[in-house]
């Protein structure tokens, strides 16, 4: 099935250290409904359209959260979400500054689901308010934003929960396959490959302000607002490959271009990339975001000296080795992964486990996709050190938007 149907069914820069392999071993437990004995967390949702409104309903259904406030740029979107999860009219905020009023309204935690251009600003304000943070991916659209989120998350390490919502590493079958790879069952990993095949989103003509780009995932078409297709979508497959590799790449080489019909946004949508790691390992990645009937297919694969393995966003995770093997279903991660993360977020706050293991991998995954995006656009090779040194910020024109 194509991605839309699948999703509907699911309803100083050079000083940045590479993450340690242990941070890739995120262990998720099966989702459980919030215990009556556990605290109810006063939650605010920032960004209530599409996945944001859907995530709000999952939080509401968990049982461990009080839906305290909602905010969206569009008042009617905030109101629709507020109606769905029972938020008082007085705590439904709109406009660019609505997130501040939400975070000052008495919430204890926030779920950030806006276009990722705003994540660094929202994260920094949330941390300053002493809030727990549940953050969608990617964490930013550029290097400065990525480093700002990393610094904010590090500042609350051991003090507050900071969870980034990746779904593939929550699945028990994927976890088991990666565990076996790391234990050496397929031998030393010789090569990695990853793929993200899906459709594209609506990309209508530009208007006088970017307000028209802020609905219905249109913003994925714009690098500065949503990171573009590679950073926003391919990141699932790239993150999975980095989970296996246990480190971030040091360079990327590749090509990319725009092939969707009548593109208006600047994001490329077809990618062929080669990432290289410090230890000599290479990752080949292919990304396709076209409505060409090929369906939704997202995975990362490892070729080892004695076997090979694959983990999926949806399908079957498997490992084939000389002496052993494994097969396991990976069902409905769009919803199942989110439900697990919502439960993990609640349990982490309840028991004050603020180790925040998703932070390091989310920073490296975002930086890796930023590196790949840049290599594809340049049609050449870009080093991670160069990307960090340049520290290029993407800007958007806020003219005409409501404060």
DSSP 228-270: HHIIIIIHHHHHHHHHHHTS--SEEEEEEE--SSS--S----E
What does the DSSP assignment read for 158-183? TTS-EEE--SGGG-HHHHHHHHHHHT
State pTM to two decimals.
Answer: 0.91
Give the number of other CB atoms < 10 A from CB of residue 381: 13
Is residue 47 pLDDT above 80, yes or no? yes
User: Domain boundary residue among 134, 164, 194?
Assistant: 164
Per-residue DSSP letter, 227: -
**Pairwise pLDDT comparison (11 vs 172), residue with the higher score:** 172
Single residue among 125, 145, 164 that ends a domain in this structure = 164
End position of a domain, from candidates 164, 184, 207 = 164
Percent of the chain with pLDDT over 90: 88
**Mean pLDDT across 334-340:** 96
Provide the CATH number for the domain around residue 250.
Answer: 3.30.360.10
Taking the CA atoms of the chain, what radius of gyration do you get in angstroms? 20
DSSP code of residue 296? -
pLDDT above 60: residue 173? yes
194 shares a domain with 155: no
User: What is the tally of structural domains in the chain?
Assistant: 2
Classified as helix, coil or strand, 198 is strand
Look at residue 398 and tell me if it is in a domain.
no
Domain co-membership, 181 together with 157: no
In a 13 Å sphere around the CA of 244, the CA atoms on its Cβ side amount to 38
Q: Are residues 26 and 137 in the same domain?
A: yes
Do the domain assignments include residue 211?
Answer: yes
Tell me, yes or no, whether 62 and 190 share the same domain: no
Quote the mean pLDDT of the chain.
Answer: 91
Judge whether 311 and 300 are in contact, CB under 8 Å. Answer: yes
Predicted confidence at residue 39, as pLDDT, reads 79
- Claim to verify: residue 193 and residue 122 sit in the same structural domain: no
Answer for the pair 146, 140: CB distance below 8 angstroms, yes or no. yes
- Show the CA angle centred on residue 246, arms to residues 376 and 331, nearest 5°: 85
Q: What is the per-residue pLDDT across 77-94, written as a single tens digit (0 to 9) for each?
A: 999 999 999 999 999 999
Tell me what the mean pLDDT of segment 21-39 comes to. 43
Using 50, 70 and 90 to split pLDDT, how confident is the model at 106? very high
| CA 260-7-126 angle, 5° bins | 95
Which pLDDT tens digit goes with each residue over 184-198? Answer: 999 999 999 999 999
Domain identity same for 198 and 325: yes
Phi, psi of 6 (to 5 degrees): -60, -45
Tokens of 81: 């979400």
Label residue 324 by pLDDT band (50, 70, 90): confident
Question: What is the DSSP track for 368-396?
Answer: HHHHHHHHHHHTSEEEHHHHHHH-PPP--
Are 40 and 137 in a shared domain? yes
For residue 124, being part of any structural domain is answered with yes
Query: Quick check: is 85 in a domain?
Result: yes
pLDDT digits (tens, 9 = 90+) for 292-319: 999 999 999 999 999 999 999 999 999 9
Q: What's the pLDDT at 37?
A: 55
CATH number for the domain that contains residue 107 = 3.40.50.720
Q: Are residues 83 and 25 in the same domain?
A: yes
Q: How far apart are CA 165 and CA 175, in angstroms?
A: 16
Q: How does DSSP assign 30-60, residue by residue?
A: PP-PPPTTSPPEEEEEE--STHHHHHHHHHH
User: Cα(214)–Cα(116) distance, rounded to whole angstroms?
Assistant: 11
- The residue range of the domain holding 149 is 21-164
Predicted confidence (pLDDT) at residue 14 exceeds the cutoff of 60: no
For residue 323, the model assigns a pLDDT of 85
Question: pLDDT tens digits, residue range 223-282?
Answer: 999 999 999 999 999 999 999 999 999 999 999 999 999 999 999 999 999 999 999 999
Residue owning tokens 């839906």? 67
Q: Using alpha carbons, list the distances in angstroms from residue 36 to 33, 347, 350.
A: 9, 12, 12
For residues 160 and 220, membership in a common domain is answered with no
Q: For residue 15, is pLDDT > 90?
A: no
CA distance 31 to 339: 6
Residue 55: predicted pLDDT: 97
pLDDT at 19 over 90: no
Residue 175 and residue 118 in one domain: no
| Residue with the two structure tokens 């009937």 | 293
Nearest-angstrom CA–CA distance, 190 and 376: 24
Distance CA 93, CA 74 (A): 9
d(CA 228, CA 138) in angstroms, rounded, equals 10
CA dihedral for 228, 76, 403, 147, sign (positive or negative): negative
Please compute the mean of the pLDDT values over residues 362-366 and round it to a whole number. 98
**Which of the pair, 18 or 6, is modelled with greater confidence?**
6
Asked if residue 349 is part of any domain, the answer here is: no
> Is 373 a residue whose pLDDT tops 90?
yes
Question: DSSP assignment, residue 81?
Answer: H
Q: 156 and 257 share a domain? A: no
Measured CA distances, 9 to 193, 298, 333, 335 (Å): 27, 16, 10, 8
State whether 182 and 159 are in the same domain: no
Instruction: Evaluate whether 197 touches 298 at the Cβ level (below 8 Å).
Output: yes
pLDDT at 4 over 80: no
**Residue 7 pLDDT > 60:** no
Q: At CA 392, angle to CA 388 and CA 395, rounded to 5?
A: 150
- Quick one: angle between helices 51-62 and 333-350, nearest 10? 50
Q: Which residues contact 76 (CB under 8 A, 6 or more apart)?
A: none
Q: How confident is the model at residue 24 (pLDDT cuts 50, 70, 90)?
A: very low
| Tokens coding 180 | 């076996």
Q: Is residue 221 part of a domain?
A: yes
């Amino acid at each position: 099935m194509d991605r839309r149907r699948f999703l509907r069914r699911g309803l100083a820069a050079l000083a940045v250290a590479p993450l340690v392999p242990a941070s890739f071993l995120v262990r998720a437990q099966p989702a459980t409904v919030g215990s009556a004995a556990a605290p109810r967390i006063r939650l605010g949702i920032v960004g209530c359209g599409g996945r944001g409104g859907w995530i709000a309903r999952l939080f509401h259904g968990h049982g461990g959260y009080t839906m305290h406030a909602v905010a969206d740029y569009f008042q009617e979107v905030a109101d629709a979400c507020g109606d769905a999860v029972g938020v008082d009219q007085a705590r439904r905020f709109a406009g660019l500054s609505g997130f501040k009023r939400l975070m000052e309204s008495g919430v204890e935690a926030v779920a950030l689901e806006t276009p990722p251009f705003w994540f660094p600003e929202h994260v920094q304000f949330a941390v300053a308010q002493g809030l727990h943070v549940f953050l969608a991916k990617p964490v930013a659209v550029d290097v400065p934003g990525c480093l700002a989120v990393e610094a904010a998350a590090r500042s609350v390490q051991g003090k507050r929960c900071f969870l980034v919502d990746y779904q593939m590493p929550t699945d028990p079958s994927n976890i088991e396959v990666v565990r076996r790879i790391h234990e050496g069952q397929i031998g030393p990993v010789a090569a990695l490959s990853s793929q993200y095949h899906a459709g594209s989103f609506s990309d209508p003509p530009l208007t006088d302000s970017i307000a028209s780009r802020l609905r219905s995932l249109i913003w994925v078409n714009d690098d500065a607002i949503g990171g573009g297709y590679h950073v926003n979508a391919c990141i699932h497959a790239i993150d999975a490959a980095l989970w296996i590799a246990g480190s971030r790449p040091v360079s990327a080489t590749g090509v990319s271009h725009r092939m969707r019909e009548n593109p208006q946004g600047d994001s490329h949508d077809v990618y062929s990339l080669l990432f290289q790691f410090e230890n000599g390992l290479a990752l080949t990645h292919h990304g396709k975001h076209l409505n060409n009937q090929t369906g939704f297919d997202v995975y990362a694969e490892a070729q080892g000296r004695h076997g090979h393995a694959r983990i999926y966003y949806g399908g079957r995770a498997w490992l084939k080795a000389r002496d052993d093997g494994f097969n396991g279903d990976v069902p409905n991660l769009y919803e199942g992964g989110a439900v697990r993360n919502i439960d993990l977020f609640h349990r982490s706050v309840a028991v004050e486990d603020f180790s925040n293991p998703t932070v390091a991998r989310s920073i490296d995954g975002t930086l890796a996709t930023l590196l790949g995006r840049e290599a594809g656009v340049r049609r050449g090779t870009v080093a991670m050190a160069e990307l960090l040194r340049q520290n290029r910020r993407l800007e958007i024109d806020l003219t005409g938007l409501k404060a």
